[in-house]
């Protein structure tokens, strides 16, 4: 039955209007290194979403962003007037790109303002906060994606497929590490544990953790861990290096690490009938996939973040399931808490 104006509520009209959109508007919230260096350029390549607005606490950043990305005045917000975004139909998605411990408040405010949310990794600094974010999005009936760009990357997707289909036999042992060398600068990730929630594990080790889950296709049954600190006057309240081991069902083992004083960036999978992996594995580009000594022969031209954001926009437009879901973010946080607990106590944590 056709809906005629006298019987249709404004809300119904807004839903109909939203369904007709072909491209969704994204507002980036927190205009730091990742938003400026990766997300805004990626939004120049997206097909199903575009950079519509910004939310920033630093007014001096506004003119450059407006000029570079043609952002109208009506789509610019600060943290005080952010909730007014509820009245702005040209913003469909808020992308939260702040320090980790601010992901929860902004995700909840965005969902309550009726916006879908992409939240950067790690999802927050505790599983309790992750649960509150999921609840808020569910209550507001809004979708939530975590910024796990590699869940949409074709080489990483091969690891998922080969685990699922046992293409090279059963997975036996996974080696993975994401580290970089250099505790430099005053950035919150090196200086403020109340914002970061931890050291390299929270920041980059989370990629290795993620890889163990999709390269086995299973969830771990136990975790042991060790942490080290050699530079005592840096990284207050955070680890400098952390190593952890995970047992999965069916005799699969993962040996993992993350450090701010090492140069490692790989995931390697040994199976009954071979060995495959990616090295470098976790960078924004230049990934090299290998299988049994040969190249995976995968060419990519689009930025990882463009693929990730387009996938989310399509999830919204077609009401389909999110690959990098809030549940994945929460599950990773539960394992991160277990890794820290195991490293602190020296005990094996079983699930
Ligand atoms: P950054 O320090 O460069 O930027 C953070 C932004 O948040 C800054 O613009 C800052 O002004 C703003 N901000 C708002 N409130 C703040 C407060 N109270 N204190 C400090 N800053 C505040 O950090 P970044 O490297 O852009 O990281 C932002 C988020 O993105 C983090 O959660 C990080 O883990 C994530 N990240 C993800 C990837 C990825 O590959 N997916 C890469 C880099 C960063």
The rounded distance, in Å, linking the Cα atoms of 336 and 130 is 12
Residue from 48, 95, 115, 121 carrying the catalytic annotation: 121
Q: What per-residue confidence (pLDDT) applies to 7? A: 40
pLDDT of 200 above 50: yes
Beta bridge partners of 268: 175, 277
Mean pLDDT of 6-30: 68
154-299+326-350 adopts what CATH topology? Dihydrodipicolinate Reductase; domain 2 (3.30.360)
Give the pLDDT band of residue 52 (cuts 50, 70, 90).
very high
Of 39, 99, 238, the residue with max ligand 1 atoms within 8 A of its CB, to mutate for a pocket test, comes to: 99
The rounded distance, in Å, linking the Cα atoms of 170 and 248 is 12
pLDDT of 9 above 90: no
pLDDT of 261 above 60: yes
| 288 noted as active-site residue | no
Q: Length of the chain in residues, anyone? A: 351
| 23 noted as active-site residue | no
> Per residue in 304-343, pLDDT tens?
999 999 999 999 999 999 999 999 999 999 999 999 999 9
332 in Cβ contact with 122 (< 8 Å)? yes
Supply the pTM of this predicted model.
0.94
pLDDT of 6 above 60: no
CB atoms within 10 A of CB 6: 5
**Starting from the edge strand earliest in sequence, which strands make up the sheet with 171-181, in order?**
294-295, 289-291, 274-278, 261-271, 171-181, 252-259, 241-248, 222-228, 349-350
Dihedrals phi, psi of 285, to nearest 5 degrees: -160, 180
Q: Top-level CATH class of 9-149?
A: alpha beta
Q: What per-residue confidence (pLDDT) applies to 185? A: 84
> Per residue in 156-184, pLDDT tens?
999 999 999 999 999 999 999 999 999 87
CA of 187 to the centre of ligand 1 (A): 9
> Per residue in 27-41, pLDDT tens?
999 999 999 999 999
Q: What per-residue confidence (pLDDT) applies to 19? A: 54
> Per residue in 61-75, pLDDT tens?
999 999 999 999 999
CA angle 196, 199, 200 (to 5 degrees): 115
31 touches ligand 1 (CB under 6 Å): yes
- Domain boundaries of the chain, sorted by first residue: 9-149, 154-299+326-350
Least confident segment among 10-19, 129-138, 269-278, 326-335: 10-19
């Amino acid at each position: 039955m056709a809906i005629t104006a006298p019987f249709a509520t404004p809300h119904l009209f807004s839903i109909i209007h939203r369904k007709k959109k072909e491209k969704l508007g994204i507002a980036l919230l927190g205009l730091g290194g990742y938003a400026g260096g990766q997300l805004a350029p990626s939004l120049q390549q997206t097909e199903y979403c575009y950079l519509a607005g910004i939310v920033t606490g630093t007014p001096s950043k506004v003119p450059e962003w407006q000029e570079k990305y043609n952002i109208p005045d009506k789509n610019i917000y600060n943290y005080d007037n952010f909730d007014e975004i509820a009245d702005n139909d040209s913003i469909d998605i808020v992308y939260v790109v702040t320090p980790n411990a601010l992901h929860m408040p902004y995700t909840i405010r965005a969902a309550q303002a009726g916006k879908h949310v992409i939240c950067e990794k790690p999802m927050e600094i505790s599983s309790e906060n992750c649960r509150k974010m999921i609840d808020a999005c569910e209550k507001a009936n809004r979708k939530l994606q975590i910024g796990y760009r590699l869940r949409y990357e074709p080489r990483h997707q091969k690891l998922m497929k080969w685990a699922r289909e046992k293409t090279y036999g059963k997975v036996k042992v996974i080696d993975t590490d994401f580290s970089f060398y250099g505790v430099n600068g005053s950035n919150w990730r090196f200086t403020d544990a109340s914002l970061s929630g931890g050291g390299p594990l929270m920041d980059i080790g989370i990629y290795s953790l993620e890889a163990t889950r999709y390269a086995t296709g299973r969830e771990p049954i136990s975790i042991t861990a060790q942490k080290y600190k050699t530079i005592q006057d840096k990284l207050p309240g955070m680890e400098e290096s952390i190593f952890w081991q995970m047992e999965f069902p069916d005799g699969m083992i993962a040996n993992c690490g993350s450090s701010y004083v090492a140069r490692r960036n790989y995931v390697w999978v040994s199976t009954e009938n071979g060995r495959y992996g990616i090295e470098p594995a976790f960078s924004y580009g230049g990934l090299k996939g290998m299988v049994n000594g040969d190249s995976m022969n995968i060419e990519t031209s689009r930025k990882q973040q463009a693929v990730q954001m387009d996938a989310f926009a399509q999830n919204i437009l077609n009401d389909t399931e999110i690959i990098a879901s809030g549940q994945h973010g929460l599950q990773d946080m539960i394992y991160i808490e277990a890794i820290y607990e195991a490293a602190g106590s020296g005990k094996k944590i079983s699930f």
